[in-house]
Chain A
């Protein structure tokens, strides 16, 4: 194994942090273009496909990137960096400037506790690749992600105008409402993985481990054995990330832009990036809890895949921790991308809810369903794990 694994803990942490940032940031940026492209394709348009810098236009082969809108993405990013920062006169300057920064903090802090891959140690044990391998995993994600609503409320309030204010109010009500169902929906998963005789944990490593056990029931992913939980979690995830059909805080049709109506240029783009980062982390948590984490397929765990590749090709290279780590990370990113695509797909399928419908769905439908689901699975797990 390379010496980097034995280097100073601080150096390792910095390397891990850079690796995470270098993966999450480009995906967050690419998400905005993916959103535009998927939207366009569903509406039978080609989407942004024209932009290319003149000095690159002559190079053959770049046409694919041009048609995928990659240069448009760069142009958008540069535009946000260089355009004038409007600061309306009627706003509270401190909080108005602070809100987009606060939006970024929970978005990128939650990334640290989400494992995105794994490698096998000498004994064949699965070690998750994660920036901070804390035992409180899901609790940390929920706790930090809840702070995200402060930026929306702050932005709505500091803007000192009607539409952002309404957007901020809606954001706070909606996020609080759906957090309850979300938390209740994941409890069966953690009741199951904290089987008797094992040390208690709320980390994601154990959850994935329980989706890669041998045997028919051991190899199933949790979205098969706990479909109601997965459904409630997915719906609550849409609401928590302010995605259509739950885009109440933004509400382009009735609130102009909602909480970010008064924002422009780079501040606005910070909200935008934070929203996509939240989506990525949400998708990652969904993939870890219900889609088997870094396992390639149900009933085929990462270890099985690596052993199969090793036996099939005969290369010892497949057993190397770096190879396994890269492979598992790619599998996991694939799942995140698929979930993100689902976000965009649903956006153009389901019409927006009215505000009262959002509240009714959250409190009168999802919350009772989540409670019943929790009770049913608690009783079931009690008898199964006895």
Chain B
């Protein structure tokens, strides 16, 4: 490659007076003055949430209305800021969740501690906890900022399921003899 010497021309008298630069600067700012505003008028306009957004973590149910969480407490143990607190319990003896043996008795996520890292969602073997698109959490007290189990299911709602693990188990049990375990 040949070396190309770059000519560094000294500034002309007009250029040293700053006036051309001033004029072009004024032109630029005038263009911006009449340009569109970049501001999003927040409460009226909402930002588009991209896929994979990490908002408020919440528990989900499968389309049959089952609680998917089996209170294995993996999320509680992996949670870096220790925002999750689970009291394990047994699943109700009748109803749709009868096959899954365990369910959380209490499930609290302290949103003042949560750092929205998404490790709970990543670690969950039952695909029971997901970070939602909700990004705005408000409350008047610290207690209000703790999401309890019913609130978590309310936020999370129902999520489509590909496995229906408990339906498979139920079918297997029925095929084995129709009796209860």
Contact = CB atoms under 8 A, between A and B. Distances in A.
B125 to A, nearest CB: 48
B32 A43 contact: yes
A349 B33 contact: no
A41 B33 contact: yes
Interface stretch (B21-29, B75-83, B132-140, B143-151): B21-29
A348 B39 contact: no
A192 B22 CA distance: 30
B29 A349 contact: yes
A38 B39 contact: no
Contacts of B29: 42, 345, 348-349
A42 B26 contact: no
Give the dominant DSSP class at B's interface: helix
Contact of A42 (B22, B33, B41): B33
Nearest to B38: A44
A238 to B, nearest CB: 12
A345 B26 contact: yes
Interface in A3-55: 38, 41-46
Contacts of A43: 32
B38 A350 contact: no
Interface residues of B, number: 15
Contacts of B39: 44-46
Contact of B37 (A45, A345, A346, A349): A45
B35 interface: yes
Given A41-B33, A42-B32, A42-B33, A349 B41 contact: no
Nearest to A40: B37
Nearest to B22: A350
Contacts of A348: 29
A46 B37 CA distance: 6
B178 interface: no
Given A44-B39, A45-B38, A45-B39, A38 B33 contact: yes
B50 interface: no
B30 interface: yes
B25 A350 contact: yes
Interface string A328-353: 00000000000000000110111000
B35 A349 contact: no
Nearest to B43: A50
A284 B29 CA distance: 24
A166 to B, nearest CB: 26
B36 interface: yes
B94 to A, nearest CB: 54
Given A38-B33, A44-B39, A348-B29, 12 more contacts: A42-B33, A43-B32, A44-B35, A44-B38, A46-B37, A46-B39, A345-B29, A345-B30, A346-B26, A349-B26, A349-B28, A350-B22
